[in-house]
Chains A and B, each alone.
Chain A
């Protein structure tokens, strides 16, 4: 279609010093093409440049400059070199015929002009030329696409290199942080701990040798402070250990089995506290996660349900799971003491926050739980009503599995 349209609108320049030939050519071609005429070589060169015809019919024998010379000059100019030229002459010698092609002509017509022959050749060469132009354009487009593609690939490669560099520096930072964390953990678990151990030891000797001293209230407080300090160090160690990313081993964990095994590991505790657990997790839920984290999260929430049960009723905790968009949602619902969300929502997952004057709460469980969930790319939500119960929803990304 494109080619046909181009042919219909084609412009043809006819060059001949005989007005008779010009008018003959015009009469033949005019019905089909846009015609430009030049009766000498100078004019021909000018018009070819200006009008940019699709085809030139060029007389060889002209008085000023010969058609061959015009052809040679046209072929040297960038904006006319591509225009196909058909030579016209009365001559029929073999030499002219060959020279016409040598000079860059595409065809050769002898005079007197036969109208059918002229139309047919013009049509053919216009078609050939438009196809050539079309192919050249196509080629150009392919070339451009290709070089665009190369540029894109280079850009992409550069981006990847930069990303890679950032990633490896992140890994380095993480390793560095891990090392610092380990040093810090060591200070807590060894150095700080050894001082409290000595304090405890010294107090024990004093108590053994001079028990009457411990009637002194201040000494009792020193002993209490020492024991509290020791507890704090134990907790701090627990938190620091939980931050150690070297323990992060990703793998697939069957949620139902994990919940069941946690339930049986604290079965006695639950029985004594008269708390019932219900595992309603579908069998087929396998979660891609850091297994020991998820196990610790389950254990934490389950033991919380025991710790913060209500003495006023039979308590339970129900575990269920579902898929929601890109997440696995694990739902833990209990009917325990509940948490005053208005007051504590912001602090719930903070370190050392306890919301019940309960002897077993150490204020670390939810802090560690939240951290572990976030390390796995998830989140935790909580709904609670005092003296009604609490719902924890743990969201873990589904896509990774």
Chain B
């Protein structure tokens, strides 16, 4: 089975990071998972990686409600970076607000809108589309 070399969690909630990482580990399909505490931190780090020629994560799980930069700001700003299209972003949120889902549609992410908690079955489905 092909593995995801690098995945990224953008999430301010430690417990969610722990849960998500645990399930990612269980699938055995992730070589490395990095995480950032908010949209701004993720943007700065990913930009630095890009500029220094390092390869970026293939898969990003993005929370919506976060301090400093929320998920939406991250999306807006990240789009402007000269990154290749094969970075796949999933929204991973606890939000059950319809408004958030409508916004996700605007970003074309309605098919990649996940509800917390991230479960093993969801992850396997995602992996099957990837690999």
Give the B-binding residues of A (Cβ under 8 A): 185-186, 189-190, 193-194, 196-198, 200-202, 204-205, 208, 233-234, 237, 241
Contact = CB atoms under 8 A, between A and B. Distances in A.
B19 A233 contact: no
A392 B65 CA distance: 42
B67 interface: no
Contacts of A241: 97-98
Interface in B2-52: 13, 15-16, 19-20, 22-23, 26
A237 B96 contact: yes
B95 A193 contact: yes
Given A189-B95, A190-B65, A233-B96, A201 B19 contact: yes
Contacts of B112: none
Contacts of B22: 205
Contact of A205 (B19, B97, B115): B19
B96 A202 contact: no
Contacts of A208: 26, 120
Contacts of A200: 116-117
A84 B6 CA distance: 116
Contacts, number: 57
Interface string B109-121: 0000001111110
Nearest to B97: A189
Contact of B96 (A189, A198, A204, A205): A189
B94 interface: yes
For this complex, into which size category does the number of interface residues on chain B fall? 20 to 34
B70 to A, nearest CB: 11
A189 B118 CA distance: 17
A204 B98 CA distance: 26
Interface of B: 13, 15-16, 19-20, 22-23, 26, 65, 94-98, 115-120
B16 A193 contact: no
Contacts of B13: 194, 198
A15 B97 CA distance: 102
Given A197-B116, A197-B117, A202 B15 contact: yes
A201 B26 contact: no
B97 A198 contact: no
B97 A202 contact: no
B110 to A, nearest CB: 17
Interface of A, helix, strand, loop or mixed by DSSP: helix
A200 to B, nearest CB: 5
8 contacts: A189-B95, A189-B97, A196-B94, A197-B115, A198-B16, A204-B23, A204-B117, A233-B96
Contacts of A190: 65, 94-95, 97
Which of B13, B96, B120 has most chain A Cβ within 10 Å?
A: B96
A233 B116 CA distance: 14
Which of B13, B15, B115, B118 has most chain A Cβ within 10 Å?
A: B15
Contacts of A233: 96
A193 B94 contact: yes
Contacts of A237: 96-97
Contacts of A205: 19, 22-23
B15 A198 contact: yes
Contact of B97 (A185, A196, A197, A204): A185
B96 to A, nearest CB: 5
A205 B17 CA distance: 13
Contact of B117 (A185, A186, A189, A198): A198
A205 B16 CA distance: 12
A241 B13 CA distance: 26
Contact of A201 (B96, B97, B98, B116): B116
Contacts of B98: 241
Nearest to A198: B15
Which of B15, B20, B117 has most chain A Cβ within 10 Å?
A: B117
Which of B19, B23, B65, B98 has most chain A Cβ within 10 Å?
A: B19
A200 B120 CA distance: 13
Nearest to B19: A201
A194 B17 CA distance: 12
Contacts of A201: 15-16, 19-20, 116-119
Contacts of B117: 197-198, 200-201, 204
Contacts of B23: 204-205
A374 to B, nearest CB: 22
A-B pairs with the 3 shortest C-beta distances? A201-B117, A201-B19, A197-B116
Contacts of B119: 201, 204
